[in-house]
Copies of this chain bind each other. A is one copy, B any other.
């Protein structure tokens, strides 16, 4: 069992998967499977088969596969926020803070051994391909009322604060930040699958390209 874990919104699950071994297996293998199959082809039956358990057992942890996805992506944003905290807290200059946040968002995510049962690289790919599906649903208002998008909102608000410090008169701080967080993932997807929609190359430099695009976008918007 990991020593460090995030306290995620209780409405995300029926039973906390961070507390049990089966829960850990659900988290770990759902990341592997959704990454491999895509969210549409992913089912609790396939997951149950993978972890040698049953559909019914998984349903005791998560109401349905959509909530499991929301859980995973919420976990991701809490992880991002935690890392932003670590790397920006010592920086005095808000511009440097903002650049650090952008770097964290734009960087190639790799396995973080602090959290044993989560493969962050695979989870990053899931966020790239499936993020929008968490909120683009008729049930969005209900999910939102339950606070299930707190992870994303937390990261957003954190960066908005920095943005306002840099330029208090900029009138679109919230829009700019949500745009940059989403576009960071979208542009990576495009570079893999729809290259004519992006200026990023499909090679390893793309993370640097992405960072430069985001920095340019954000700082030129904030220039007074």
Knowing A38-B137, A144-B193 touch, does A199 contact B175 (C-beta < 8 A)?
yes
For window 143-184 of A, CB contacts with B under 8 Å fall at 144, 149, 152-153, 156-157, 171-176, 178-179, 182-183
**Which of B141, B179, B194 is close to A144, meaning CB atoms less than 8 Å apart?**
B194
Q: How many copies does the complex hold?
A: 2
Q: Are A136 and B140 in contact (CB under 8 A)?
A: no
Measured CB to CB, the nearest residue on chain B to A152 is B197
- Contact of B174 with A196 in the complex, beta carbons under 8 Å: yes
Interface locus among A4-12, A14-22, A88-96, A213-221: A213-221
Chain A: interface size category? 35 or more
Residue picked from A144, A172, A197, most chain B C-beta under 10 Å: A197
A217 nearest CB neighbor, chain B only: B221
Whether, in the assembled complex, A132 has its beta carbon less than 8 Å from a beta carbon of chain B, the answer is yes
Most B CB contacts (10 A, CB to CB) among A136, A174, A186, A199 go to A136
